[in-house]
Amino acid sequence: MANITFPFPYPEHLGIMLPEILLAVLAMALLLWDLFVPKEKKGMIAWAAVASCVVTLIALLQLPAGDSLHTFYGYFVLDPFAAYAKVLMIAATVLAIFLSLDFMKDEQNVGEYYCLMLFALLGMMFMVSATNFVVMYLGLELMALCVYVLVAYQRDVLRSSEAGLKYFILGALSSGMLLYGLSFIYGVTTDFMFAGIGEALRHVEDGSRLAVLLGMLFIIAGLAFKVSVAPFHMWTPDTYEGAPTPVTAFMSVAPKVAGFVVFIRVLADAFPALQTEYTTVLSVLAVLTIGIGNVAAIAQRNIKRMLAYSTIGHVGFMLLGLIAATQEGYSGAMVYLTIYLFMNMGAFAIIVLMRRDGIQGELLDDFAGLARVRPGYALAMGLLLFSLAGIPFLAGFWAKFAVFAAAIHSGHIWLAVYAIVFSVVGCFYYLRVVKYMYFDKERVAFNFIENPVMQATVVVTSLAVVIFGLYPKPVMAMCSAAVSMF
């Protein structure tokens, strides 16, 4: 039971929404405060945003963990799963703000930028707590609208605007698909609650079967878009490349967490009756995603694009956890997301640090000779890339281990073999960067951003990758506790 009572008695347990309420209020307050902050002091907004995240985190952590608590007629739930996802997303947001510190300081209206990040976080927090398609959709749109704007934030940079616009148009299409699918499901079950739909679908008549399949498929497509599953992935490389790098870092991690949590909830709560069907669909999608992600990454010259395809590949691996449809699988996906958060944030942090004179250090060639100039960065980048490639004993290995083991235990052996083969293919493009860093001659003069907070981010993430790699138990334990209710 939440121990916070509000002066008004209704609805019950509103206290479990305290983190969201605080975050919403703080974000709006920041937006107003921003109007009064002179341009040269806009950096304060960033720190205020970090403080808001910390406040939200504290509010979240003091809530009772372990039970499932509901409010708003059960539309909003706080369970270990949601709580864990929220912690991850808050961490991702804070790290993304750190990466933005120096990067964004020359942009206009930088205050709004941080507020948008907070609102995106708010939307994601609603998404992961949703037990109902309507709440889920509201959270998703709040998140998505903020991210569209963030992507297009460098409005005088052509490719930034282009990226934002593409993402927006395709995002609208995917929302349309999601809602279209939802209408079918509502038509058959007359319910929006995940659990209610799940119950209703157990006794569905044969005549409505096609409608249900159609609905589920569209819903899956809508969600797959958000987590960049092929063939709904095509926005990803363009958007990642065009977006300001900290935004890329942010959207490569936080929305993926939210998306996967929702994906898991929808599949496990709303469609358990269609497990055979959705496993088939997801298997096809996973095969496509893993293959396209890992192969296409090889042809990229731009590291942000390469990491975009790498994200697609990783998402494919995470799908294995969902396909397993067991507690172990969900836990594996969460382990993957947790570790992925640190690996990707670290890699992007180094890319951000390499920004030079308006041109980001983005081409693979730009990494040539890094080991000679900044051995520390090269070592950190090397560790992160090896981890992304899944080399033991770095964290990335355990991430893959968790989902592959789940897939094998649930009988999807061939899928696991396929995934393992492609994770070997994946090594190529990660290790190529290591080769550039260590074996090639410097081609252009380096010009790093020297910001202690960003450097600390690099240190923390690469250390995390090593420590989780050597001692993965706590992460694994937390994740399996988080999914204990499935």
Partner 1 sequence: MQDMTLSSTELLLIPALPLIAALIAGLFGWKLKESLTHWICCVGVAVSALLSIDVFMQVLDGARFYGNFWSWVISDHFVVPVGMMIDPLTAIMMLTVTIVSACVHVYTIGYMHGDPGYTRFFSYISGFTFSMLVLVMGNNFFTLFFGWEAVGLVSYLLIGFWYRRESANVAAMKAFIVNRVGDFGFAIGILAVWYYFGTVDYHEVFAAVKPFVEQGISLHFLGWQMDAITFICLALFVGAMGKSGQVPLHVWLPDSMEGPTPISALIHAATMVTAGVFMVARLSPMFEFSETALAAVILVGAITAWMCATIGLVQNDIKRVIAYSTCSQLGYMFVACGVSAYSAGIFHLMTHAYFKALLFLAAGSVIHAVLADQDIRRMGQLRKYMPITYVTMLIAALALSGVPPFAGFWSKDLIIEAAMVRDMGWVSELAYWAVLSGVFMTAFYTFRMFFLTFHNSDRVPAATKPKLHESPKVITIPLIILAVGAFGSGLWGVYGLDIANAEVVQGFFGSSIFVLDAHNPLLKLELEEHHSFLLSAPFWFAVGGIALAYAMYFRESAMPAKLAAMAPPLYRFLLNKWYWDEMYDRFLVRPARCVGTMLWQGVDLATIDKGVIHRGLIDQVANGAARLRRMQSGMVFHYAFAMVIGVFGLLTWLILKA
- Residues near partner 1 (CB under 8 A) are 165-166, 169-170, 173-174, 177, 209-210, 213-214, 217-218, 221, 225, 230-232, 234-235, 237-238, 277, 280-281, 284-285, 292, 295-300, 425
Q: Identify the residue whose tokens are 């897939």.
A: 407
Q: How far is the CB of 242 from partner 1 (least distance, A)?
A: 10
Convert 420-455 into a string of H (helix), E (strand) and C (coil).
HHHHHHHHHHHHHHHHHHHHCCCCCCCCCCCCHHHH
CB of 112 or CB of 238, closer to partner 1: 238
Q: Which is nearer to partner 1, 166 or 355 (CB)?
A: 166
Residue 160 burial (10 A CB sphere; 0-12, 13-18, 19+):
buried
Instruction: Report d(CA 407, CA 322) in Å as an integer.
Output: 9
Q: What is the nearest approach in angstroms of partner 1 to the Cβ of residue 292?
A: 6
H helical segments located in 190-302: 194-202, 209-226, 235-242, 245-265, 275-298
Nearest Cα to Cα of residue 227 among 328, 333, 298: 333
Q: Is 64 left (phi over 0), alpha (psi -120 to 50) or beta?
A: beta
Q: How far apart are the first and last CA of the chain?
A: 21
In the complex with partner 1, the residue whose CB is nearer, 109 or 275, is 275
CB of 12 to partner 1, least distance (A): 40
Q: How far apart are CA 28 and CA 30, in angstroms?
A: 5
Closest CB to partner 1 among residues 166, 374: 166
Q: Token pair 């974000």 is at which residue?
A: 27
Taking the complex as a whole, the smallest distance from the CB of residue 219 to partner 1 amounts, in Å, to: 11
Rounded alpha-carbon distances, angstroms, from residue 113 to 96, 148, 166, 329: 11, 12, 20, 36
By beta-carbon proximity to partner 1, the closer residue of 25 and 169 is 169
Residues 303, 351: contact at Cβ < 8 Å?
A: yes
CB of 163 to partner 1, least distance (A): 10
What is the b/e burial string over 419-449, where b = at least 16 CB atoms within 10 angstroms of the residue's CB? beebbebbbebbebbbebbbeeeeeeebebb
Q: How far apart are CA 136 and CA 154, in angstroms?
A: 29
Nearest distance in Å: CB 280, partner 1:
7
Distance in angstroms (rounded) separating the CA atoms of residues 434 and 99: 22
Instruction: For partner 1, give the closer residue by CB, 93 or 239.
Output: 239
CB of 170 to partner 1, least distance (A): 6
- Whether the CB-CB separation of 113 and 100 falls below 8 Å is answered with yes
Nearer to partner 1, 66 or 176 (CB): 176
Residue 267 corresponds to which amino acid? L
Question: For partner 1, which is the closer residue by CB, 130 or 433?
Answer: 433
Which lies closer to partner 1 via its Cβ, residue 41 or residue 473? 473
Taking the complex as a whole, how short is the minimal distance between the CB of residue 335 and partner 1, in angstroms? 17
Work out how close the CB of 192 gets to partner 1 at its nearest, in angstroms, rounded to a whole number. 22
| Complex with partner 1: residue 52 or 289, whichever CB lies closer | 289
Q: How far is the CB of 361 from partner 1 (least distance, A)?
A: 22
Q: Is the peptide bond before 231 cis (omega within 30 degrees of 0)?
A: yes
Q: For the CB of residue 100, give the shortest distance to partner 1 in the complex, in Å.
A: 27
**Tokens standing for residue 450:** 């020297």
Using the Cα atoms of residue 124, residue 271, residue 308 and residue 180 in order, give the sign of their dihedral. negative
What is the DSSP code string of 109-153?
THHHHHHHHHHHHHHHHHHHHB-BHHHHHHHHHHHHHHHHHHHT-
- Compute the least distance from the CB of residue 429 to partner 1, in Å: 9
Cβ closer to partner 1: 297 or 335? 297
Between 163 and 394, name the residue whose CB sits nearer to partner 1. Answer: 163
